[in-house]
Amino acid sequence: MKDVSERPPVDDPPGGRAAGGRWPWPAPGLAGAGAAGVRHAGLVAALLLLVLVGVITKPDNFATTGNLVSILALAATIGVITVGMTFVIIGGGIDLSVGAIMALASVWATTVATQSYGPVVMALCAILVGAGAGLVNGLLISYGRMVPFIATLAMLVAARGLAQRMSDRRTQLVRPENDAIMALSTTKVLGLPLLVYIFAAVVAAGWVLLNRTTFGRRTFAVGGNPEAARLAGIDVRRHTLLLYTLSGLCCGIAAIIIMARTTTGSSTHGDLYELDAIAAVIIGGTLLTGGRGTIIGSILGLLIFTVITNLFILNGLDTSDQLIAKGVIIVIAVLLQRRGLRTPT
Amino acid sequence: MADKATPVLQLTGVNKSFGAVKVLHDVDFAVYPGQVTALVGDNGAGKSTLIKCIAGIHPVDSGQFFFEGRPVAIGGPREAAALGIEVVYQDLALADNLDIVQNMFLGRERTRGVVLDEASMEESARQTLSRLSVRTVKSVRQMVASLSGGQRQTVAIAKAVLWESKVVILDEPTAALGVAQTRQVLDLVRRLADTGHAVVLISHNMNDVFQVADRITALYLGRVAAHVERAAVTSTQVVELITAGRSGDLGLAPTTAENTL
């Protein structure tokens, strides 16, 4: 983050830097909301297309309640992480450590010591470990002035190492007396497991936080123009710290979901989740440089990814091809967005 | 100089160094309600540093600040804003990815409970723009990225006025603008003063200064060369004050001017 106040005390040349100079004439009106709406419509269309492919190729298997529930349950884990990631990226950062933090939280929550306190403490432990690791990321980046990529890369490696050490590289089972955790996956309300509702609640809370609160508004400002945000009296460092803590918190919630789904805590959980989460956010139309993005877009991006995975599995295709398809989709999404970007400015 | 009013903001004996470089030497500066005070000086004369000290961005090494006659200490941008001092920076400090309302309320958003009160903010933004007789902006929900240079300047000024501000400091508001847009912004600057604000206008452009300023303070190498009434000087004299620190009887004593070089 550049800090203009530290510049040597030399006046700027007249007219040299004034930002207004780039737009000598009023550009044709663009509405931010409208542009996002168009992007979302495109994502929904892509999603429907994939569903259509599913219905045609596997008519008996795809459009079943069981399959749709498993798609949502699969999406829930990375989905919660994606919400936090959306905030971090809109705020101008990146968090590579999400998968590792989730693994660490799942391991910490399933140690013999934690499990002896019961399921509520396990859940709290996962959330606290996640938020704590996120806080460390935030401190390194905002007050330690480290580049987000480096700081969270270090956390990725370190958190996974710590998870391995704590679990002795063994998969830790959630003990039967703590089966309330598993109930999140097995108890169904209106045909959907509870963890899908947790996912929905996190998405809703994230949407409100981003679009209807001061915190969300300032996240856009910090990502779009940190210097303007600072001059407007926003504590940019503190805000950055909170963004990474929020991301860590989401990883903690994701850890609860993965414990419920797999009945285990393991240092191998969430491997490469960071890439899926970042890809979902990018496909959803959030600028990697910050300042623009939506929660809805990220979730649509994630659902597209999850449905693709599901289609490949149902059709018995190679997972390698699945990776290739995902890569191609990321490239197409970014190319389409760049075209969309050029028209307004 | 016969002053009818007490200054809203007065600085006396302000010194500021950045490391070994002394940027401001015993600067005295005063701004009056309803008047436009032009702050002029060459590049490096200390204009930007002076306003950043006023805005609370740079702490001063020594010197006193009086706001409406009371001694005050300005410890940060928020404290300056709380007093009623608003600065419109040269690079405008607007976030391109936000709309006009969002920019005007950035950092001081209105909320109802925990959620943003968009309706009330939009209404106030619209009222402020119309109070300043701004008619060039189509919608207050336009993204700032889509605005022209003059419109951006207008939004930045309106943002400063929104807060019941008493002192509005404008850093080179016309530097990047064309003739028509410069005209609009200067009209706006005049209206600001006419609505009772104390306005500080930093400019390199003598035309602008002579069109709207009531008083002129010239800085020369970190010292105040002169405080003058606009009506009492010519453009040539002001240019001499800027470039040489003195003009005839006005300005720094020759020895002082020499020493600072």
Name the residue with higher pLDDT: A101 or A232. A101
| Residue B140: closest CA among A278, A97, A32, A201 | A32
Size of chain A in residues? 345
B261 touches chain A (CB under 8 A): no
Q: Quick one: tokens of B72? A: 């005050």
**At how many degrees (to 10) do helices A98-109 and A119-138 cross?**
150
The average pLDDT across A109-128 equals 94
> Which one of B77, B139, B172 has the shortest CB-CB distance to A233?
B77
The reply to whether B216 falls in a domain is yes
Q: Is the ipTM of this complex over 0.90?
A: no
pLDDT at B150: 82
Residue B109 to residue A217, Cβ atoms within 8 A? yes
Pairwise CA distance, residues A266 & A259, whole Å: 9
Query: What pLDDT is attached to residue B259?
Result: 57
Q: Any chain A CB within 8 A of the CB of B145?
A: yes
Which residue has better confidence, A2 or A129?
A129
A232 → closest Cβ in B106, B116, B146:
B106
Q: pLDDT tens-digit profile of A219-229?
A: 999 999 998 89
State whether A29 and B44 contact (CB < 8 Å).
no
**Domain of B210?**
9-94+167-260
- The domain total for chain B is 1
pLDDT tens digits, one per residue of A150-183? 999 999 999 999 999 999 999 999 999 998 999 9
A residues 208-227 lying closer than 8 A (beta carbon) to B? 208, 212-214, 217-218, 220-221, 223-225, 227
| Predicted pLDDT of residue B258 | 55
Taking CB atoms and an 8 Å limit, are B46 and A228 in contact across chains? no
Is the Cα torsion angle A322, A324, A327, A333 positive or negative in sign? Answer: negative
Question: Residue A328 pLDDT > 50, yes or no?
Answer: yes
Contact status, residue A71 vs residue A311, Cβ threshold 8 Å: no
- B146 and A26 in contact by Cβ < 8 A? yes
Please state the separation of Cα B55 from the chain's center in Å. 10
Task: Give dist(CA A217, CA B101) in Å, integer.
Answer: 11
Q: B107, A232: Cβ pair inside 8 Å?
A: yes
Does A339 score more than 70 pLDDT? Answer: no
In a domain, B223, yes or no: yes
Average pLDDT of the segment spanning A108-123: 93
**Parallel/antiparallel/unpaired status of strands B36-41 and B198-202:** parallel
Pairwise CB contact (< 8 Å): B108 & A21:
no
Task: Collapse the DSSP code of B226 into the 3-class scheme (helix H, G, I; strand E, B; otherwise coil) and give the result.
Answer: strand
Residue A345, pLDDT > 60, answer: no
Lateral strand order in the sheet of B62-67: B21-31, B9-18, B62-67, B70-72
pTM: 0.83
Q: Which residues of chain B have pLDDT under 70?
A: 1-5, 92, 254-261
DSSP state of B86: E
Using an 8 Å CB-CB cutoff, list chain B residues near A10.
43-44
> What are the backbone angles phi and psi of residue A153, rounded to the nearest 5°?
-65, -45
Q: Is residue A12 part of a domain?
A: no
Measuring CA to CA, how many Å separate B7 from each of B12, B29, B74, B75, B161?
12, 10, 17, 21, 19
Residues B150, B92 contacting (CB under 8 angstroms): no
Contact B229, B3 (CB under 8 A): no
Contact of B223 with B256, CB cutoff 8 Å: yes
Interchain contact, B77 vs A225, CB within 8 Å: no
Give B202-257 pLDDT, tens digit per residue: 988 888 999 999 999 999 988 888 888 888 888 888 888 888 888 777 777 766 65
From chain B, the residues in CB contact with A32 under 8 A are 97, 99, 143
Q: Does B179 touch chain A (CB under 8 A)?
A: no
Give the chain B residue whose CA is nearest to the CA of A27: B146
> Is the CB of residue B58 less than 8 Å away from at least one CB of chain A?
yes
Confidence of residue A37 (pLDDT cuts 50, 70, 90): confident
Residue B91 has its nearest CB partner, among A18, A32, A220, at A18
Identify the residue with better confidence: A14 or A341: A341
On whether residue B245 sits in a domain, the answer given is yes
How many CA atoms lie less than 13 Å away from A322 in the CB half-sphere?
Answer: 17
Q: Which residues of B touch A30 (CB under 8 A)?
A: 143, 146
Q: Is the pLDDT of residue A27 over 60?
A: no
What tokens appear for B150 in the block? 């003059």
> Are B121 and A217 contacting, i.e. CB atoms less than 8 angstroms apart?
no
**B212 found inside a domain:** yes
Of A18, A32, A344, which has the smallest distance from its Cβ to B176's Cβ? A18
H or E stretch including A173? Answer: strand A172-173
Q: Considering chain B, what is the average pLDDT of its residues?
A: 86
Alpha-carbon span B236 to B8, nearest angstrom: 29
Give the closest-approach CA distance of A145 to chain B in angstroms: 20
The answer to whether position A26 is within a domain reads no
pLDDT confidence of residue A248: 97
Of A11, A23, A217, which has the smallest distance from its Cβ to B116's Cβ?
A217
| Residues of chain B found within 8 Å of residue A17, distances taken between Cβ atoms | 90-91
Q: What is the CATH number of the domain that holds A153?
A: 1.10.3470
Q: Residue A332 is part of which domain span?
A: 62-340
pLDDT category, A195, cuts 50, 70, 90?
A: very high
Q: Which residue of A12, A286, A288 to mutate against B (max B Cβ within 10 Å)?
A: A12
Q: Please report whether residue A263 resides in a domain.
A: yes
Residues from chain A that touch B116, judged by Cβ atoms under 8 A, are 212-214, 217
Residues of A (274-293) whose Cβ lies below 8 Å from B? 291-292
- Which residue from A114, A123, A69, A100 is spatially nearest to A257, judged by alpha carbons? A123
Mean pLDDT of A211-226: 94
B151 in a structural domain: no
Across the interface, whether the CB atoms of B18 and A9 are under 8 A apart is answered yes
**CA dist., res. A77 & res. A271, Å (int):** 12
B137 touches chain A (CB under 8 A): no
Give the contacts of B226 (CB within 8 A, at least 6 positions apart). B216, B217, B218, B241, B247, B250, B251
Q: Using DSSP, how many helices (H) and how many strands (E) does chain A show?
A: 14, 4
The minimum CA-CA distance between B141 and chain A, rounded to whole Å, is 8
The chain-wide mean pLDDT, for chain A, equals 86
Look at residue A263 in the predicted model and tell me its pLDDT. Answer: 93
- Return the structure tokens found at A192: 């959907």
Residues 6+ apart with CB under 8 A from A133: A97, A101, A104, A105, A155, A159, A248, A251
Tell me how close the Cα of A230 comes to any Cα of chain B, in angstroms: 9
Counting one residue from A and one from B, how many pairs have CB atoms under 8 Å apart?
Answer: 161
Task: Quote the minimal CA–CA distance from B5 to chain A in Å.
Answer: 30
Per the domain annotation, does A25 fall within a domain? Answer: no
Chain A interface test: which of B51, B87, B94, B170 (most A C-beta within 10 Å) = B94
Q: What percent of chain A has pLDDT over 90?
A: 62
Q: What is the 3-state secondary structure (H, E, C) of A247-306?
A: HHHHHHHHHHHHHHHHCEECCCCCCCHHHHHHHHHHHCCCCCCCCCCCHHHHHHHHHHHH
d(CA B237, CA A269): 75
Total domains in chain A come to 1
Q: Are strands B115-116 and B111-112 parallel, antiparallel or unpaired?
A: antiparallel
Q: Is A13 on the interface with B (CB under 8 A)?
A: yes
In this prediction, residue B1 carries a pLDDT of 42
In chain A, residues with a C-beta closer than 8 Å to the C-beta of B145 are: 23, 27, 344-345
Q: Is B260 helix (H, G, I), strand (E, B) or coil?
A: helix
Dihedral angle over CA of A266, A323, A277, A127, nearest 10: -10
Distances in Å between the Cα of B253 and the Cα atoms of A237, B13, B117, B260 are 47, 18, 57, 11
Q: Which residue, among A191, A175, A48, A60, has the nearest Cα to A122 in the 3D structure?
A: A175
Q: List the CATH number of the domain containing B205.
A: 3.40.50.300
Are A224 and B142 inside 8 Å of each other by CB? Answer: no
* Residues 208-227, chain B, touching A (beta carbon < 8 A): none
CA separation, residue A289 to residues A2, A72, A226, A286 (Å): 15, 29, 12, 9
The C-alpha of B249 sits at a distance from chain A's nearest C-alpha, in angstroms, of 28
Within a domain: B219: yes
Retrieve residue A14's tokens: 């007249």
